Amino acid sequence: MLEALKRVLLTFLLCLTLTLMFGLSFYYLPKNKPPGREVKEERVINLVESIRKKAKISEKIKVFALPGHLSVTAEIFRAKDNEIIILTGEELLGKWPDEALKGLFAHELAHFLLGHIGLVFKGNRDLEAEADAEVIKLVGKDALWSSLRNYMEDRIDRAEKVLQKKSKPSDKQQ
Ligand SMILES: [Zn+2]
């Protein structure tokens, strides 16, 4: 009888220890720090702030940039400390005019507003159309046009650079 009680008590203690360790691991795990550099340029902060206010988003929004460019223009996600992060590339930030950045940030914030954040199928055409519709409401069709035009121009620029690289060796042979 005493042996059985001992076993129950030990099992209970073991469970308690495991639960505590599990809980503490969450507390001590490194916080989900966004990659890249936090963008502090006034131009970018002001653009995001104006859209955030218009969209009546109360959460704090930060922009982070990775060197070069992402495979997509930008991403939006929620960091562990509940901050909303827009992640984009330095190349685009340095090159795109305000109007295009406005369209881009509005598009990402629209995904957040519509609850698309964290969805794996974000590239879904219907969801993109919903986000773009929100962009038109928030910042107008010109800003949407400007962001799409700059995105396309970047793609064509990159394609042309590939062609230039490929044509160089044969030029030397001629
Ligand atoms: Zn999108």
Chain segment 17-55, per-residue pLDDT in tens? 776 766 655 554 445 567 899 999 999 999 999 999 999
**Domains in the chain, CATH or no CATH each:** 2-165 (3.30.2010.10)
Chain segment 81-121, per-residue pLDDT in tens? 788 999 999 999 999 999 999 999 999 999 999 998 866 55
Listed in sequence order, the residues at least 6 apart from 151 whose beta carbon sits closer than 8 Å to its beta carbon are 73
Question: Which residue reads 């008590």 in tokens?
Answer: 9
Q: Ligand 1 centroid to 9 CA: how many Å?
A: 54
Q: Ligand 1 centroid to 107 CA: how many Å?
A: 6
The structure's pTM equals: 0.75
Q: Ligand 1 centroid to 137 CA: how many Å?
A: 15
Q: Ligand 1 centroid to 32 CA: how many Å?
A: 22
Q: Ligand 1 centroid to 125 CA: how many Å?
A: 9
| Percent of the chain at pLDDT exceeding 70 | 84
Q: Which two tokens stand for residue 26?
A: 């969450």
Q: Ligand 1 centroid to 43 CA: how many Å?
A: 22
β-strand partners of 63: 86
Q: Ligand 1 centroid to 3 CA: how many Å?
A: 63
- Report yes or no: 162 and 122 within 8 Å, Cβ to Cβ: no
Listed in sequence order, the residues at least 6 apart from 169 whose beta carbon sits closer than 8 Å to its beta carbon are none
